[in-house]
Amino acid sequence: MSKKDYYEILNVSKDASSDEIKAAYRKLVKKWHPDLHTKDKKIAEEKFKEIREAYEVLSDPQKRAQYDRFGYVGQQVGSQGGWSTTQQGNPFDQGPFGGFEDLFETFFGQSPRSSSRTSAKSRAVKGEDIYVTVRIETKDVLHGVEKEIEYTRYEVCEACHGTGAKNGTAFKTCPKCNGTGVIRQQQRTFFGVMTTQSTCDMCGGSGKIISEKCPVCGGRGLVTKKKKIKLRIPPGVEDGGRMRVPNGGHAGKNGGPYGDLFVVIRVKEIKGLKRDGQNVYSEVTIDFVQAALGTTVEIDGLEGPEVKVIPAGTQPGTIFKLKGKGFPSIRNRSRGDHIVKVNVEIPRSLTKEQEEILRKYAETTHSTVNTKHRGFFRR
């Protein structure tokens, strides 16, 4: 268990941001790359290992929090690291900077390029992200809601701290590479004898193999765990919106950080209400007499029925706003409007009495109406 001051190693303050930590790490790694220190290689290697270990912890919010609280991280990081410093003698070595690329890929994102020098098995790889869907009601969008989310993920096995070895200690030297982590092969070629080397496939370059598998995880270092979290969904969230829970995903490989959990929010629609940003749209239908004389209507709003007075002489297609009756903004909680379009319905048939009244009405406005072919123009 390491009790080193990782902040001191990376020369950053205790409240350094992740970008500051990354920058400090890049700088130090360049300075202490073992291939640049041919004379005091051993010292550089030690230093290099330390820097890497510090970065692995401080770059992972979960591990960093653990380190801040307890002064160490339970899971020994870097112990299975695949960094190989034994590259001399390789005619295809890319010079003093060979290996840089791979190193950065390991920590700053994955690359599809898999080099023979660093086996995928030994890299610290971030765990996979998990997506879960949560369904909420429209009213939950107004006030926010707390939801319990249950899902299954891979976690680092506590029994072996992710090493896969029983009691976390039972390692033995890899018999295939004798603990060097690399396999050397001599080849007779056109140019003479050439030595090539590759990462040992048996130990993944760590030089150690598990002699007794952890009984809890069967040597995988990971266990399946049911996870239950409470998530506060803020007001204003939109259908299809995503919330990220850092480190809520699957455990990483070889001490890599946890992936993230993404919670996809689906909002159940209310029939007849259409959302567009913070505004909500609906329609109300009245008949032509109501439009002419004015009326009172009940509108299905987000928070139940809203009563609205329709003034006399309202035209078809008139739009009115119920101010502040829309959805809240996810940023500042200010609410949008409920926008209502008025449809005016013309009766498709009239009773004798209604027709007479309308004819009388027509006389008052001097309108010309059909007398003989009543109904001819009806749709």
Site for Zn ion contains 216 (CB under 5 A): yes
Site for Zn ion contains 251 (CB under 5 A): no
Find the binder of Zn ion among 51, 160, 251, 263 (CB under 5 A). 160
| Least distance to Zn ion, CB of residue 170, Å | 11
| Least distance to Zn ion, CB of residue 155, Å | 10
Residue placing its CB nearer to Zn ion in the complex, 206 or 282? 206
Neighbours of 86 (CB within 10 A): 12
Site for Zn ion contains 217 (CB under 5 A): yes
| Least distance to Zn ion, CB of residue 73, Å | 17
| Least distance to Zn ion, CB of residue 173, Å | 8
| Least distance to Zn ion, CB of residue 203, Å | 3
Site for Zn ion contains 134 (CB under 5 A): no
Residue placing its CB nearer to Zn ion in the complex, 10 or 203? 203
Residue pair 42/76 in contact by the 8 Å Cβ criterion: no
Site for Zn ion contains 174 (CB under 5 A): yes
One-letter amino acid identity for 26? Answer: R
CA–CA distance from 251 to each of 52, 128, 162 (Å)? 19, 7, 9
One-letter amino acid identity for 263? Answer: V
Q: Which stretch binds Zn ion (CB under 5 A): 15-23, 43-51, 105-113, 160-168?
A: 160-168
Site for Zn ion contains 222 (CB under 5 A): no
Find the binder of Zn ion among 51, 124, 156, 200 (CB under 5 A). 200
- Residues lying near Zn ion in the complex (CB under 5 A): 157, 159-160, 174, 176-177, 200, 202-203, 214, 216-217
